């Protein structure tokens, strides 16, 4: 089921290119619409299984983390630039996931996972390039975003490991996040949703790159250690870069191409079966 995790990351990687269709729309409003639509779709799809959801626990906090991650990501990008904000937020996610799994479950990361994850993060950094002004507040907010991602990923994996259907767990997290982000969407404005391009973009981002992607991710978490899944999710920037070249006509520098290759090789290493104890929790 590692393929399900990679497939989810590939769908996440399409979001930036598709988002270009709604040029001029406030990115925070676009992200809010994505979560509102995606959360609604997940709740409707899993409505018959929702009674199996355990009361209390980490899921309400995980739902807040899903919403807060979006806000942290855009705040970090605004302060320290797209390249630095993206690398720190997305790249730190697997690291925090490994650490949280270690602290909560007492399972130390394997040497191979640590090396492959470090190489994947380095490849991601080289791929996206430098650029932008590095600001401490932006970097700290991006790190907070990476931690929030790790928190809701680990929380979901731990609940799934108890036997709760993964679709229900994702519906609970993203349904809760949708409630949090609905006021944000209304505050930032919804007029752009009346335009065909805006509506099509929001529906795709909500239904495909959020709802369907997280159904795949949740099902992958049933049998894939969460730290491994977090590292495999670094396929997202690789797909985004390739779509930029193929669809948007962007060009990769030699250095960026090397970063893409390093990232690809690292993900293959992580995806290969590992002997000994697995890192993280599985269902």
Q: What is the pLDDT of residues 216-233, one digit of tens each?
A: 999 999 999 898 999 899
Report if residue 282 sits inside a domain.
no
Report if residue 281 sits inside a domain.
no
pLDDT at 280: 41
Report if residue 278 sits inside a domain.
no
Backbone angles phi, psi at 52, to 5 degrees: -80, 0
pLDDT at 282: 34
Average pLDDT, the chain: 86
Rounded CA-CA distance 244/241 in Å is: 5
Most confident of 44-58, 172-186, 259-273: 172-186
The total domain count for the chain is 1
Q: Which of 276, 265, 226, 240 is nearest to 1 (CA)?
A: 226
The residue range of the domain holding 186 is: 2-271
Buried b (16+ CB within 10 A) or exposed e, 116-145: bbebbbbbbbbbbbeebeebeebbebbbbb
pLDDT at 254 over 90: no
pLDDT at 279 over 60: no
**H/E/C letters for each residue in 112-176?**
HHHHHHHHHHHHHHHHHCCCCCCCHHHHHHHHHHHHHHHHHHHHHHHHHCCCCCHHHHHHHHHHH
pLDDT at 67: 95
Report in angstroms the alpha-carbon separations of 130 from 77, 118, 136, 255, 272: 13, 18, 15, 11, 30
Instruction: Indicate the pLDDT class of residue 61, thresholds 50, 70 and 90.
Output: very high
Report if residue 279 sits inside a domain.
no
The fraction of the chain above a pLDDT of 70, given in percent, is 92
Which residue is associated with the tokens 């519906």?
171
Average pLDDT, integer, range 190-211 = 94
Report if residue 240 sits inside a domain.
yes
Report if residue 58 sits inside a domain.
yes
pLDDT at 281: 38
pLDDT greater at residue 108 or residue 43: 43
Name every residue whose Cβ is closer than 8 Å to that of residue 246 and which is 6 or more positions away in sequence: none
Report if residue 283 sits inside a domain.
no
pLDDT at 272 over 80: no
Rounded CA-CA distance 238/260 in Å is: 6
Report in angstroms the alpha-carbon separations of 184 from 42, 77, 177, 201: 20, 18, 11, 18
Which residue is associated with the tokens 């650029």?
131
Rounded CA-CA distance 65/151 in Å is: 7
pLDDT at 134: 65
Report if residue 244 sits inside a domain.
yes
């Amino acid at each position: 089921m590692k393929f399900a995790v990679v497939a989810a990351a590939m769908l996440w990687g399409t979001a930036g290119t598709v988002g270009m269709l709604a040029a001029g729309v406030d990115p925070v409003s676009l992200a809010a619409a994505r979560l509102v639509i995606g959360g609604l779709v997940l709740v409707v799809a899993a409505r018959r299984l929702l009674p199996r959801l355990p009361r209390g626990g980490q899921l309400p906090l995980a739902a807040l983390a899903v919403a807060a991650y979006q806000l942290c990501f855009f705040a970090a990008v605004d302060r320290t630039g797209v390249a630095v904000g993206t690398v720190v937020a997305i790249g730190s996610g697997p690291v925090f996931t490994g650490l949280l799994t270690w602290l909560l479950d007492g399972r130390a990361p394997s040497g191979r996972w640590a090396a492959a994850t470090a190489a994947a993060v380095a490849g991601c950094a080289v791929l996206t390039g430098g650029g932008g002004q590095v600001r401490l507040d932006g970097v700290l907010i991006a790190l907070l975003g990476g931690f929030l991602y790790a928190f809701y990923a680990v929380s979901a994996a731990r609940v799934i490991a108890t036997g709760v259907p993964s679709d229900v767990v994702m519906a609970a997290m993203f349904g809760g996040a949708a409630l949090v982000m609905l006021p944000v969407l209304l505050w930032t404005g919804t007029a752009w949703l009346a335009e065909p391009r805006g509506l099509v973009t929001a529906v795709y981002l909500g239904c495909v790159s959020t709802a369907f992607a997280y159904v795949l991710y949740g099902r992958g978490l049933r049998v894939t250690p969460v730290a491994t899944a977090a590292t495999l999710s670094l396929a997202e920037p690789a797909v985004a870069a390739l779509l930029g070249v193929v669809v948007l006509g962007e060009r990769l520098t030699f250095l960026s191409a090397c970063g893409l290759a390093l990232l690809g090789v690292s993900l293959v290493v992580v995806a290969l079966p590992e002997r000994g104890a697995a890192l993280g929790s599985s269902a």
